[in-house]
Amino acid sequence: MVVLDPAGDVARQQGDLIVLSTVLMLLIIVPVMALTIFFAWKYRASNRDATYKPDWDHSTQLELVIWSAPLLIIICLGAVTWVATHLLDPYRPLARTGPGKPVAAEVKPLDVQVVALDWKWLFIYPEQGVATVNELAVPVDRPLRFRISSSSVMNSFYVPALAGQIYAMPGMETKLHGVFDKTGEYTGFSANYSGWGFSNMRFRVKSLPAGEFDQWVAATRASAEGDLSRNAYLKLETPSQKEPVRRFVASDPQLFDAVVNMCVEPGKMCMHDMMSLDAAGGAGIAGIGNVRQVTYDKFAARGTVDAARWSMRYVAAWCSAPVMSNDRPDAKPVSPEKLKGEGLPLPGKTARTALNAPAATRPLS
């Protein structure tokens, strides 16, 4: 029911759109269901008074009614959906906080950076310099701008009382704009299955008056368990379930961008740097050492630095550089001669028979 009675203007418009669409569809569904029952009763076998026309096959008037009513409903649905899709685009900045409440030009939205972890949510407030786990607090009547990403697998960020859901994907950033016009406590969760701890991937949402939000920020900073450095983030990234609310000081302004570009770990090349190299034509032979740093998580999740470093070294080396004996412990010298197929048996013959056969009858490459 919170979808139809939310606490935010965006979610309320979405709820109204659901109601309007349902009513428009019921305009044709209800008559069709009613007429189905009526015709079944009127033209039952025992009703001898019903008109019987076995050769009747067409009525222009009936065809117009049958096709025009659904067509008009589809036109209405299409027009309403087209307008609402653009007005409620999650990437579109808010123009109002409620009916008759336009957003002033000088009002700056509150930025919140959201990272979906296994299996918990991380919220970073760059303006306030704090971060929380499984707790989102925002001021009422202030536009909110969420920058959303994921650490490993795809999730879906959804606060039904605030706005619609939008996906959180690793290596990508999505955005969502919303606003609360009521104070209170609500629930947010992941609306996309993401593995073992998905069922408990929920977080508290607090809509607070502006003064209380400032107090919450001060209390969060005072009770922080430490700084959310990159090493602390890598530890936090370790999969866990039913994680309690945790609070941190967020002093690294580049942490979220490093998460999006998959380069939180020391020594990893960021994706935007890799794309810049690709756009310039690639790294070439001289850049093989850099290319080895961009083999992302083939055999280990982010945060398991030792295993990731092993896979980066050997897997990237095998694929992008000539294999050297000191680069792989199991490396063996390979003959540079062209394969000729000598020693392969002919169909129906053993390998020994093929080897003893005359040269003219041996299999050719």
Chain segment 24-53, per-residue pLDDT in tens: 999 989 999 999 999 889 888 888 888 877
Whole-number pLDDT of residue 327? 40
Q: How far is the C-alpha of 223 from the C-alpha of 133, rounded, in Å?
A: 13
Q: How far is the C-alpha of 279 from the C-alpha of 124, rounded, in Å?
A: 32
Q: Give the residue among 139, 135, 110 at the shortest CA–CA distance from 123.
A: 135
Whole-number pLDDT of residue 53? 79
Per the CB < 8 A criterion, the answer to whether 354 and 346 are in contact is: yes
| Phi, psi angle pair for 178, to nearest 5° | -160, 180
Whole-number pLDDT of residue 57? 80
Give the distance from CA 203 to its chain's centroid. 17
Instruction: Give the containing element (helix H, strand E) for 308.
Output: helix 305-320
How many other CB atoms are there within 10 angstroms of residue 128's CB atom? 20
State how beta strands 135-139 and 202-208 pair.
parallel
Whole-number pLDDT of residue 329? 42
Whole-number pLDDT of residue 349? 55
Q: How far apart are the first and last CA of the chain?
A: 72
Instruction: Give the containing element (helix H, strand E) for 96.
Output: strand 96-98
Per the structure block, which two tokens stand in for 62? 């009936």
pLDDT per position as a tens digit, 276-292: 877 777 766 666 665 56
- What is the identity of the amino acid at 209? P
How many degrees, rounded to 5, is the angle at CA 207 between CA 204 and CA 212? 110
Per the structure block, which two tokens stand in for 47? 């009703």
Q: Give the residue among 337, 335, 356 at the shortest CA–CA distance from 345.
A: 356
Which residue ranges of the chain lie beneath pLDDT 70? Answer: 283-365
Q: How far is the C-alpha of 33 from the C-alpha of 41, rounded, in Å?
A: 13
Whole-number pLDDT of residue 294? 57
Whole-number pLDDT of residue 334? 45
Q: How far is the C-alpha of 262 from the C-alpha of 46, rounded, in Å?
A: 74
Q: How far is the C-alpha of 172 from the C-alpha of 151, rounded, in Å?
A: 10
pLDDT per position as a tens digit, 89-139: 999 999 898 888 899 888 899 999 999 999 999 999 999 999 999 999 999
Per the CB < 8 A criterion, the answer to whether 111 and 125 are in contact is: yes
